[in-house]
Amino acid sequence: MINPNLRRPLQVALGIDALADDFINQLDGAGLNGNAGAVGSGTTIAATEESLGEVHITTITFTNHPVTMTDGGAAGNIGNKEMYTFPQGLIKLLGGRSNLTGLAASGIGATATLKHSVGSAPAATNDTLNLTKANLIPSTNTTLSSSAGTLSGKSLATAITALTDNSGGTASNTIPAVTGSYVEADIETITASLAAKINEIIALLTLNGNQLGPLLDGVSSAAKLYLNLGVADAGSTGNSTVTLNGTVKFAWVKVS
């Protein structure tokens, strides 16, 4: 976001008129052109916006914010908070970090493992925080101490571990046919070839950063981000509340 102290000199330099203001807002990125989103409901959650051209950096701040946790028996104890609604359009998520503290009320064990993730879908059925429930920040475990803990997570540069190939085969760009005799050498070649190609892809992801950052389709209905929480059945005895303090910060681009 352009420092307010710099806005006036820019207006003077460019000429104090609507065109100059529009240009400054374009530089600001989160100005008057529908580029900023909306923070979730509540007086204990707030958003600040920064930008560099088309790249936006949003920081969600929680201040003693309660998240309702619902015990589902074998499905675990789950809760979610709708943090942010993006402007309508295609939204590319670039990465994010969470720096939070959580305090669990009764119903969640004092030394339970509290999971958290950030994704474009809310946790609603069980405490497994994966797929679109965790497509910005993957599920991260925190072991509580006296019902309190630090929830720190981040987007991954690559979430894939390279394969160790012990097949004994020689990698090739051609996969041999597997006949009814199931020739061992052919199977070894197939295994080695597939492992080599998979590792090439992993190496490319590691070199270029995470290329799997989600593209959210918010054209017809604006995309959202949720902070999701979960506790396995063993750590839960009933409905509860987790009180959050701290921030979740993420970078994104409105593609169209």
Q: How confident is the model at residue 96 (pLDDT cuts 50, 70, 90)?
A: very high
Q: Are the C-beta atoms of residues 10 and 2 closer than 8 Å to each other?
A: yes
Dist. CA 195–CA 183, nearest whole Å? 19
In this structure, the chain runs to a length of 256
pLDDT of residue 243: 98
Residue 53, token pair as written in the block? 């051209």
Q: How confident is the model at residue 86 (pLDDT cuts 50, 70, 90)?
A: very high
Beta strands 137-143; 55-71: pairing state: unpaired
> What is the mean pLDDT of the segment spanning 186-203?
89
> What is the mean pLDDT of the segment spanning 225-230?
98
Which pTM value belongs to this model? 0.75
Q: How confident is the model at residue 22 (pLDDT cuts 50, 70, 90)?
A: low
Per-residue pLDDT for 4 more than 70?
Answer: no
Supply the DSSP string of the chain, one letter for each residue: ---HHHHHHHHHHH-SSHHHHHHHHHHHSSSSSS---EEPSSTTEEEEEEEETTEEEEEEEEEEEEEEEEE-GGG-EEEEEEEEEPPSEEEEEEEEEEEEEEEE-TTB-TTPEEEEEEESS---S-S---GGGSSSEEEEEEE-BTTEEEEEEE--S---PPPP--S-----SSPPP--TT--HHHHHHHHHHHHHHHHHHHHHHHHH--TT--EEEESSS--EEEEEEEE-GGGBSS-EEEEEEEEEEEEEEE--
